[in-house]
Amino acid sequence: MEIKYFRLIKTIVEEGSIANSAEKLFLTQSALSHQLRELEERLGFKVFLRTRNKWEMTNEGAELHKLGNEILESIEKGFQNIEHLRTGSTGTIKVSTECYSFYQGLSAFIQKMGLLYPEINVDLILEATHQPIPKILSNEIDIAIITSKPENETLSSIEVYEDEIFAIMHQENSLSAKDFLDLNDFVNAHLIIHSFPLETVSVYERFLKPNKIIPHKISAIPLTEVALEMVNANMGIICMPKWAIKSFKVSDDLIFKRISRNGLKRTHQLVFRKSDKSKKYINDFISNFEDDFSKV
């Protein structure tokens, strides 16, 4: 059954007669009468019962009218979805980071995005952690959160916020009396990290590695809560920004020490493909991310 017949029935019901429907459908009254007669002949039943001044639907016609409205609404919604896709306001964004600690706070942000932009779906791709740039280049993810500007002409990056890495230790740790930690303080330290490889650990990559320092002992503890318990037991130190442990209960016995006299700071960047820059949903994600995390 052609869509034009559903539109004809809907319009007659809304306008009350074929005469009133002609102008709305941009056809003559004669043409509409012919369409309705042709439809009723094909169906084998009357859609309307016509009197001089009144058009009433038959039971079969009422059911057909209901079906037609559902079909027309579905078509309209489909075209709206197509238009959203064409304008770039709808899509799925796959996000990953260079370090597991970066996921702190992302869940709340994604929940907020879901409320503000229900047409945008955001997925965290944990398996791409530690190698987000190759995954972006292979189109396996769309946005990466990293702390070094990528050197690839097909990628764009936006500086979002700066943070500082602190050494967290128990107040009875032998290093607790120092104003800040220098390179030599790490030589005999037990360094607790989230995961290997070491190149993904900021304190190593930015501070220790350039000076060829490797701590005496390194333990990978992927759960921040467990790592903090070990630190609270004075079993080692962990190096993290303060924002990354805001959601955990931190013992009053733990203290924060700057790393080097000037502190160990890093700049977080959102990286994405230049070819995605024109997509509205990508820009919506970026602008909201900047707004939320610039306050960190």
Does residue 154 sit in the same domain as residue 286? yes
Q: Are residues 62 and 154 in the same domain?
A: no
Beta carbons of 170 and 233 less than 8 angstroms apart: yes
**Cα gap 159→157, rounded to integer Å:** 7
| Residue 295 confidence class, pLDDT cut points 50, 70, 90 | low
Residues β-bridged to residue 94: 123
Q: State whether 96 and 35 are in the same domain.
A: no
Find the CATH number of the domain harbouring 273.
3.40.190.10
Per-residue pLDDT tens for 98-107?
988 888 889 8
What is the value of pTM for the model shown? Answer: 0.69
Give the end of a domain, one of 39, 72, 87: 87
SS3 154: coil
Model confidence band, residue 81 (pLDDT cutoffs 50, 70, 90): confident
Tell whether 199 and 228 lie within a shared domain. yes
Q: Mean pLDDT over all residues of the chain?
A: 92
- Rg of the chain (C-alpha set): 32
Helices 18-25 and 3-15, interaxial angle, to 10°? 120
Q: For 173-191, how does the pLDDT look when each residue is reduced to its tens digit (9 = 90+)?
A: 999 999 999 999 999 999 9
pLDDT at 88: 80
Do residue 175 and residue 260 come from a single domain?
yes
pLDDT for position 296: 59
How many domains does the chain divide into? 3
In this structure, the number of other CB atoms found within 10 A of the CB of residue 288 comes to 16
Verify that 67 and 117 share a domain, yes or no: no
Same domain, 282 and 143: yes
Which pLDDT belongs to residue 204?
97
Residues 195 and 246 in one domain: yes
Domain membership of residue 28 as a residue range: 3-87
Mean pLDDT across the stretch 17-39?
A: 90
Helix (H, G, I), strand (E, B) or coil at 163: strand
Using the 8-state DSSP alphabet, how is residue 31 labeled? H
Cβ-in-10-Å burial (0-12, 13-18, 19+) of 14 comes to exposed
Q: What is the pLDDT of residues 206-237, one digit of tens each?
A: 999 999 999 999 999 989 999 999 999 999 99
Residue 237, helix vs strand vs coil? strand
Quick one: 221 and 144 in the same domain? no
- In this prediction, residue 162 has a pLDDT band, given cuts at 50, 70 and 90, of very high
Summarize pLDDT for 67-76 with one digit per residue, the tens: 999 999 999 9
Are 188 and 151 within one domain?
Answer: no
